[in-house]
Amino acid sequence: MGNTSCMFCTCVEQGNIGVVERFGRFEKLAEPGLHIFNPFAGQYLAGILSTRISSLDVRIETKTKDNVFVQLLCSIQYRVVKAHADDAFYELQNPDEQIRAYVFDVVRALVPRMNLDDLFEQKGEVAKAVLQELGKVIGDYGYSIEHILMVDIIPDPAVRTAMNEINAAQRLQLASVYKGEAEKVLQVKRAEAEAESKYLGGVGVARQRQAITDGLRENILDFSHKVEGTSAKEVMDLIMITQYFDTIKDLGNSSTNTTVFIPHGPGHVRDIGEQIRNGLMEASTAQINVE
């Protein structure tokens, strides 16, 4: 539904305000409702303005301090001030174009003093500055700027691609640092585990040899006491021969062995016994040094 009028009366709808003239000169503002005019006295309704909030989208292309061309999309929400509707009706012929021109002027004066990163971080400050400057100017013409929103900042496509590549490279560099630190920690832990394993293995071998030495010593002493006329060397030779034949038997019974070449004969058995005795003597000497 629109505003209805005839020669003598006019109905101004809610959300609008009328401008009444007499003989071509402004007389008064007509509030929403029914108004009766006297056309014979030169009184008539010159026009109607909407007092609702209007929205104007402005796309501005400018460059930043670091010479990057960007497009800014601003949304300006404005309305006619009822008390000054006559100024809005008579002063500005095309308010949208006037507002757009002022926004262009303010943004292109402010953005070139900022770097691209600062522009993204402080777009709210840019909108605030535009609101302050535009409010001062447009208020004299009967309009009120309600809100200014910096909807979007669009850099040149090549710049966006470069920014994404820089960000990706920084993230890859950071990931490489973390990966290197993780590998370093893993290698250190692996080396510590290996050293601990070797240490424990050495302790186990030493204890095993010590147990073998103690067992052989007890066997030799026990056999020497029970069989008269036998020396410790003879008992040791007998034990060596027994162990030698037991080893040959185990090698022969093992299913995983195919062919094994070992020295065989009384002389070789004597050599093995001497080597074992030397080993036992070295183990006993090492134990004494440790204690």
Q: What's the distance, CA 290 to chain centroid?
A: 57
| Mean pLDDT (whole number) for 77-84 | 87
pLDDT in tens, 241-251: 666 666 767 66
228 versus 8: which is more confidently predicted? 8
**pLDDT at residue 260 is higher than 70:** no
pLDDT in tens, 103-155: 888 888 888 888 888 888 888 888 888 888 888 888 888 888 888 888 888 88
- pLDDT recorded at residue 132: 85
pLDDT in tens, 7-45: 577 888 888 888 888 888 888 888 888 888 888 888 888
Distances (CA, A) of 90 to 25, 83, 143, 219: 11, 14, 12, 127
For residue 288, name the pLDDT band (cuts at 50, 70, 90).
Answer: low
For residue 282, name the pLDDT band (cuts at 50, 70, 90).
Answer: low
**Is the alpha carbon torsion for 273, 278, 283, 288 positive or negative?**
positive
**Is the alpha carbon torsion for 231, 232, 235, 240 positive or negative?**
negative
pTM of this structure: 0.51
In whole angstroms, what is the distance from residue 283 CA to residue 55 CA? Answer: 98
- pLDDT recorded at residue 152: 84
For residue 1, name the pLDDT band (cuts at 50, 70, 90).
Answer: very low
- pLDDT recorded at residue 200: 85
172 versus 88: which is more confidently predicted? 88
Residues 283 and 209 sit within 8 Å (Cβ to Cβ): yes
Q: Tell me what the pLDDT averaged over the chain comes to.
A: 77
pLDDT in tens, 174-188: 788 888 888 888 888
pLDDT in tens, 45-73: 888 888 898 888 989 888 888 888 888 88
Amino acid at the residue 133 = E
Residue 67, Ramachandran bin (φ over 0: left; ψ between -120 and 50: alpha; else beta)? left
